[in-house]
Amino acid sequence: MISARFRDASTKGGLLALAAFLVVGCGVADYEERMDQQRKRVAVFDDETKYLNEPIAPPMLPQAKGKSPVIAFPFEVHLRAPIFIKSKRPGLTPPKKGEKLDPTADPETDNTFAYQNLKLSWYAGEDKSFAMLVGAADLLAKNPPGKIVPNKMTADEFKGRLPGALGAYYQKTRGGRATTLQIPPLLNWTEEKVRPITSLGEGSPIMYAKAAIHENPTKETDAIGFQIYYWSDERLARQIAIIYQLPAEMIADKAEFPAKKTRTFRYSAPLVQEAIKFSLRSLGTGEDAAKKRKDYTAKKY
């Protein structure tokens, strides 16, 4: 017959063993969760390295002689340049009258392209077929009729002036030749949603309006096109346009572009499109931009 003391001891021993097993089990589960999170962080870092360059340098606007340049954007912007765009220099020295802007030149100062109060700042690509333009403005609910305020406009005004600013860039870079692109006064917008770049995939989606236009690839030996993205936040009263200039065959429907016309580039079309998506995912403004810039610096060093 088993004594009560032995039964009590056995019961206590069993409970202690069970408790120890549960503690060990929880420890293993926590460890596996931490390792899984670390693997996700490494995977995100690897993707960023593959698809992105550094955050774009804030574009500076030259001022009158003796005055320091000022930042072109009305609020802080964090945006990683895709791998095919140079991020450190925000523009070119404006060309002299009668000269075309050379996208392959080494930019020394900012070059902006404007229509009314909307300015697009130019970022050089790895070769002349690639470039990026970025514009930002405060978002107004409404604007007094006939009044134009620098860097402040409604969403409709911003979108309505975007073709004019892009047209100014296009004429400067592609003017003087028989081009086949007519930039429409109203763009055909669709919706694009991307996840923000975070190590664990948290955060609300970033919503963009998207449009695309391109030169006729059957008539232009170096045809280009533009993928245009518009972002806004009514609560923060901010809006941004991000425009990626690409070879036309990376935008045009395959039926529009004969195989014999296809050119070879350092980066493939799928990689370029994935890089654009990662660039869009990196967007931050204001305090969020400062946080993302800090996080980027911490990861880099």
Q: What is the pLDDT of residues 225-267, one digit of tens each?
A: 999 999 999 999 999 999 999 998 888 666 566 555 567 888 9
Percent of the chain with pLDDT over 70: 69
Q: Are 249 and 257 in contact (CB under 8 A)?
A: yes
Phi, psi for 245 (deg, rounded to 5): -90, 130
In this prediction, residue 150 carries a pLDDT of 85
What average pLDDT score do residues 62-86 get? 85
> Exposed (0-12), middle (13-18) or buried (19+): which is 82, by Cβ within 10 Å?
buried
Per-residue pLDDT at 115 exceeds 70: yes
The answer, yes or no, to whether residue 47 has pLDDT greater than 90, is no
Mean pLDDT, the chain, integer: 79
Work out the widest C-alpha separation in the chain, in whole angstroms: 110
Residue 94 predicted with pLDDT over 50: no
CA quadruple 225, 128, 71, 291: dihedral positive or negative? positive
> How much is the pLDDT for 91?
44
Share of the chain above pLDDT 90, in %: 38
Q: What is the pLDDT of residues 1-39, one digit of tens each?
A: 545 444 454 555 666 665 665 556 666 677 666 666 556
What is the pTM assigned to this prediction?
0.79
Q: Which residue has the higher pLDDT, 192 or 222?
A: 192
Q: Report the range out of 6-15, 38-47, 156-165 with the highest average pLDDT.
A: 156-165
Alpha helices in 218-285 (DSSP H): 269-281
pLDDT given at position 301:
59
- Model confidence pLDDT, tens digit, residues 146-155: 788 888 999 9
User: Mean pLDDT across the stretch 109-122?
Assistant: 83
